[in-house]
Amino acid sequence: MRFKSVLACACLFALPTACLAQMPNSLAQAAPQTAPASPLTITLQDAINRARANEPQFRAAVTQAGIARQDVVQARAALLPSVNSTTEYLYTQGGTGTEIPRFIANNAVHEYIAQGNAHQELSIGPGSVAEYRRSTAALALARAQQEIASRGLVVTVVQNFYGMIVAQRAYANAQQAEGEAQRFLNITQQRERAGDVAHADVLRAQIQHNTAQQNLQEAQLAMNRARLNLAVLLFPSFNENFNVVDDLELAPPLPTAEEAQRMAAQNNAELHATLAALQVARQEVQTAWAGHFPTLSLDVWYGIDTTHFATYTGNLRNVGYSAAATLNLPVFSWGATQSRVKQAQLRRTQAEVELSAAQRAAIANLRSFYAEAQTARAQLDVLRQSADLAAESLRLTNLRYSAGEATALEVVDAENTLVQARDAYGQGEARYRVAIATLQTLTGTF
């Protein structure tokens, strides 16, 4: 047995290198294989939620709304008293043999300050209150712009989401068309061998099959591109391992024109943003005018300001308080204050013009978007009927060609018509969904 084992090992090492390379790697085959993760199934709402978490422009609008909220907090704090604590030690060179400081600005050679300060600054004019109102209007503007960004993002997601579904349907239609072209090519070749048709029919069928193969490759390319575009929009790290739910046929019904007009009057984010911008401009005028008014500062200090860091020096209590009031009267600023007023007034005038334009545009856009959705909805039934008729036409044409009653050109035309009709129906469904999302940018969800 030992001799046989040694002999087997010797034979093994004597084998050519090429033979060893062809031997199966048992260790590699025995290694466990990691199964690929199952693809995510994403609905339209899932896609919208993911895009809101990852799309930079929408996140920028959210950030601006958060910053505006903090501006309101700061403006409100400016209207309220502030409290601070100060601890300080001052050393001053004294005169020779005396405790008198050499600098008249200081009270003693050794001075200890530990005080709390309550400070309040008031504007006799509309300054502080106007700044708080301006920040509040700016917050409303930022929130309206966030809503605009959110609705615009929904339109983008809808376009990419259903664009991928349409591309998948187009790929399936191209696969079916390629199969029909292959079947027709086989029929023409069989009939040519039987002497029933001329070779021209085979050539025509071959050209149709080649075209169908090209269309299939283009459809696959378009489907891959649509997947890539949607993946970039939805995932923080690149991921193509997902599927989308085809719910094109579950589109929401279109409201009446009166209902759409009522919802647009209440929920038009563009108008809300323009109104908020006008309010900001008006408050900026008030803030600029405040530069002509005096300001009053009030301060109260409580603590120690003594030569010893202690509450008592002998029997003398060091803790005490002091107060100060300062009135600042603006006298001359080389016209800078009035210039700021004129700038604010110019911005207010521009905001009024933009509001008027936004109101007119809102009416026009509502009518345009509603007409687009209405037209897209009305065409769905016709497109569906055309697809059904094209399928039936191809079936009958194939039967007629098999019976020798139709030409190859008629079969090719019927195949092309079916592909076009099916693609048009899918595109029509996607058009209606995009039209609904675009209309909802004015009306809000319905």
Per-residue pLDDT tens for 360-375? Answer: 999 999 999 999 999 9
Model pLDDT, residue 32: 47
Mean pLDDT value of segment 116-138: 86
24-33, 48-57, 426-435: least confidently modelled range:
24-33
Q: How confident is the model at residue 129 (pLDDT cuts 50, 70, 90)?
A: confident
Which whole number is the average pLDDT over 176-199? 91
| Least confident stretch, 1-5, 52-56, 144-148, 255-259 | 1-5
pLDDT at residue 27 in the model: 38
The DSSP bridge pattern shows strands 295-306 and 110-123 to be: antiparallel
How would residue 314 be classed by pLDDT, with cut points 50, 70 and 90?
A: confident
What pLDDT does residue 89 have? 87
CA separation for the pair 302, 33 (Å, rounded): 76
Q: What is the DSSP string of 66-134?
A: HHHHHHHHHHHHHTS-EEEEEEEEEE-PBPTTSS-BSSTTSSSSEEEEEEEEEEEEEESSSHHHHHHHH
* Distance (Å, whole) CA 364 – CA 26: 73
* Residue 394 predicted with pLDDT over 60: yes
Q: Out of 106-110, 123-127, 261-265, 383-387, pick the least confident.
A: 123-127
Q: What is the mean pLDDT of residues 200-213?
A: 94
pLDDT at 200 over 50: yes
What pLDDT is stored for residue 179 in this prediction? 93
At 111 the pLDDT is: 87
The CATH code of domain 127-290+352-443 reads 1.20.1600.10
Confidence of residue 23 (pLDDT cuts 50, 70, 90): very low
Residue 235, pLDDT above cutoff 70:
yes
Over range 180-208, report the average pLDDT. Answer: 91
Domain extent listing, the chain: 127-290+352-443
> Which of 2-11, 141-150, 212-221 comes out lowest in average pLDDT?
2-11
Q: Which residue has the higher pLDDT, 105 or 131?
A: 131
The CA distance from 6 to 8, in Å, is: 5
Residue 403 has pLDDT above 90, yes or no: no
pLDDT of residue 233 exceeding 70:
yes
Band of the pLDDT at 313, cuts 50, 70, 90? confident
* pLDDT score of 96: 61
**Token pair listed for 230:** 């949607």
Report the pLDDT averaged over residues 183-189.
92
Average pLDDT of every residue of the chain: 88
- As a whole-number percent, the residues of the chain with pLDDT over 90 amount to 72
Mean pLDDT of the region 55-77: 95
140: DSSP letter: H
pLDDT for the residue 231: 95
pLDDT computed for residue 24 by the predictor: 42
Q: Go through the chain and tell me how many residues it has.
A: 446
pLDDT category of residue 22 using cuts at 50, 70 and 90 = very low
206: closest CA among 192, 219, 195? 192
* DSSP sequence for 282-349: HHHHHHHHGGGS-EEEEEEEEEEEESSSSSEETTEE--EEEEEEEEE-----TTHHHHHHHHHHHHHH
For the entire predicted model, the pTM comes to 0.80
Q: How far apart are CA 380 and CA 254, in angstroms?
A: 13
Confidence of residue 402 (pLDDT cuts 50, 70, 90): confident
